[in-house]
A and B are shown apart, each in its own frame.
Chain A
């Protein structure tokens, strides 16, 4: 222990090398690295011997083998004759699908609730508070089970489906009409991108004009008009190149249209309701963090209520909101892996579940799955950091 060595007060001519912090740090780090390397080597060695005794070959060769099982929901063509590599992709896309929808729904619901929590209407703010306190204190897995087993489970069979216009709900899922795109629809898509370009141009032009003359142009409404108007005009000019495919009862089940399977519905409901409770709290604290003086100053300058919110409060609140919001998005993406409990075919369910059981390639599969989640987490953080930087206060 260095403290004991230092007890004598005699002037040392040159410190012993173990008393030099720099050298000690180097020795310490060499020790740590040796220990880590030894530990990893021990584990790898154990794993290799264990795999050998169990007769499992290592490597990623299994990815090209035929999978031999079907998947409930696939976004890309897939059946039992495809390989395990394809299974991985199917699972990945299903995870991305539920994450994307969940993030969108949770954000909308969370912002609405966060604003409702601050409402000066007593009933609304208390209702929002009860929502937040109830749903964030109940485990997500339980909520998933609740929606899947207790709410969507007892729905009627296809023959007794609940009818909502041309959509149907039954215990096989939520059947909705799906659009069928014909050849000319490409023009509409192109028109939409043209409209986006026009909006960007319009906002730049407005900025320049406001800097030069001080006059404002209603960019928001003009953009909405452009985004809806141009594609709509092109759609009719191209001769309405889209029809609807309606679901209809044929035999024991519905044919046609698109179906949202109950697993996806339960997962989406649970994920967005649970995460929205957290987002609501983040939004509330973000808005509360903007000092009241800002609103008052803005009112004193004669800025209207709506413009105050838009130009003064929200930009400042977003700075506080975005970092914790990012971690909620990441939580939602990671939590989507609970899908495996109700059999929604996400990455964990089809790859770490079914594929692992069939091939026994535990190490490769678990490492691949973890790598996917790590990559997604990293990408989302990068994206949100970039957005945060754009929103951050520009200090001169």
Chain B
């Protein structure tokens, strides 16, 4: 009997399958078609990206006061930095910027607290963010109490206005959305059809027609003497529109709750509002957060439409700055800046909602 204990050592893998070369072979040049595509796409990327990077960073100007400071031939970011205050605060009086800043600081603290997983007493903070914070923000922005000077809404603008529109739209549409969603799932035929009709009508028309309606038709609907602020009108339009979308998100969340939960609530003798408020909605709302964040992203992008009815949100204020005779011809810089701001917000939120979706996906066997 021959026993050979000296096993031959493992041979190293062929050099063409490991390391940089191996990675290139499997990921870029696995077949002749792939190689061809890699070369073509790579070439297209290089000829487009290199001048772009050169324009945006290498030959661009960042510091200065006037357009004469832009001498390098690339992007003129001086245009943005000179007008940055206006782009963020709109026409808000300069000495009162601290009020907006305070609001931002409180908002950022609250939202960070909500995002971080280990924060204690989250429901309390969420309730504070949704109910008390808007009131504080209103008095900080508008004034009129606690010795704060009134700042009329036509002076609001820029990024602040964009955020105000999006946040008010989403917060105000939550309660309406819950009611509409419950109504659509109700067993009462008249309530159900009224809610369904309301939701489908608003979802079937473009936001721009809703904004036109809010700015032109709404003044006709209130009795003659009441004067309605332009911003308030836009907010009413946005809220109505958004609550229809919100209702559909919430309906989706309600449907994901297993029927046993409804039956258990009924078996405990809870009435409709108690079973919804104590059993169904707390579970469903958690499932809905990704959907709500997604509608918020959509709304955040859509707020740029208010420029058509003459409000100065971020896009509109940059658009207006582009026609300043001192800064003609810098439209690309202006648009790239706005795009970047919107992109940072939307991309961040979508990443957050994706992460949340992944987290919620595990363990919840409903459906």
A residues apposed to B, CB below 8 Å: 2-3, 6, 25, 28-29, 32-33, 36, 43, 46-47, 49-51, 53, 119-124, 127, 133-134, 136-142, 145-146, 149-150, 153, 330, 334-335, 337-338, 340-341, 348, 352, 356, 362-363, 366, 369-370, 373-374, 377-378
Contacts and interface: CB of A to CB of B under 8 A. Distances in A.
B38 A121 contact: yes
Contacts of A124: 37-38, 41
Contact of B204 (A335, A348, A373): A373
Contacts of B96: none
Interface in B97-142: none
Interface residues of B, number: 57
Interface stretch (B8-16, B64-72, B302-310): B302-310
B209 A337 contact: yes
Contacts of B269: 6
B28 interface: yes
B346 interface: yes
A141 B303 CA distance: 10
B188 A153 contact: no
Given A149-B331, A340-B308, 12 more contacts: A36-B194, A47-B221, A49-B224, A120-B27, A123-B27, A127-B41, A127-B45, A138-B346, A334-B205, A348-B206, A362-B217, A377-B205
Contacts of A340: 208, 308
Contacts of B58: none
B346 A137 contact: yes
A145 B319 contact: yes
A196 to B, nearest CB: 33
Given A121-B38, A139-B342, A366-B209, A29 B190 contact: yes
Contacts of B305: 141, 338
A46 B209 contact: no
A121 B335 contact: no
Contacts of B201: 370, 374
Nearest to B344: A137
Contacts of B220: 46-47, 50-51, 362-363
Contacts of A146: 332, 335, 339
B249 to A, nearest CB: 13
A138 B338 CA distance: 9
Contacts of B208: 337-338, 340, 348
The B interface is mostly helix, strand or loop, or mixed, namely helix
Contacts of A139: 301-302, 304, 315, 342
Contact of A142 (B26, B28, B335): B335
A49 B223 contact: yes
Q: Which of B194, B208, B269, B319 has the most CB of A within 10 A?
A: B208
**Closest CB pairs A-B (n = 6):** A122-B27, A137-B346, A334-B206, A139-B301, A377-B204, A337-B206
Contacts of B297: 137
B61 to A, nearest CB: 18
B30 A120 contact: yes
Contacts, number: 150
Interface of B: 26-28, 30, 34, 37-38, 41-42, 45, 187-191, 194, 201, 203-209, 212-213, 216-217, 219-224, 269, 271, 274, 297, 301-302, 304-305, 307-308, 315, 319, 322, 331-332, 335, 338-339, 342-343, 346-347, 350
Given A33-B190, A43-B221, A46-B220, A374 B204 contact: yes
12 contacts: A2-B271, A32-B190, A43-B221, A124-B41, A137-B301, A137-B342, A146-B335, A340-B208, A366-B213, A366-B217, A374-B204, A378-B204
A133 B347 contact: yes
A363 B217 contact: yes
Contacts of A121: 27-28, 30, 34, 37-38
Contacts of B213: 366, 370
Nearest to B186: A25
B343 A29 contact: no
A53 B204 contact: no
A372 to B, nearest CB: 9
Nearest to A375: B204
B42 A366 contact: no
Given A138-B339, A142-B342, A145-B335, A50 B224 contact: yes
A338 B207 CA distance: 9
B331 A138 contact: no
Contact of B223 (A28, A46, A352, A378): A46
A362 B332 CA distance: 36
Contacts of A50: 219-220, 223-224
B274 A134 contact: no
A348 B207 CA distance: 11
A123 B38 contact: yes
Nearest to A337: B206
A53 B224 contact: yes
A2 B189 CA distance: 22
Contacts of A337: 206, 208-209
A121 B342 CA distance: 30
Contact of A352 (B30, B203, B212, B301): B212
Contacts of A49: 223-224
Contacts of B207: 334
Given A121-B30, A142-B339, A370-B205, A153 B331 contact: yes
Nearest to B38: A123
A141 B307 contact: yes
B209 A352 contact: yes
**Residue among A121, A139, A153, A356 with the highest chain B CB neighbour number at 10 A:** A139
Contacts of A373: 204-206, 209
A138 B343 contact: yes
B186 to A, nearest CB: 9
B135 to A, nearest CB: 27
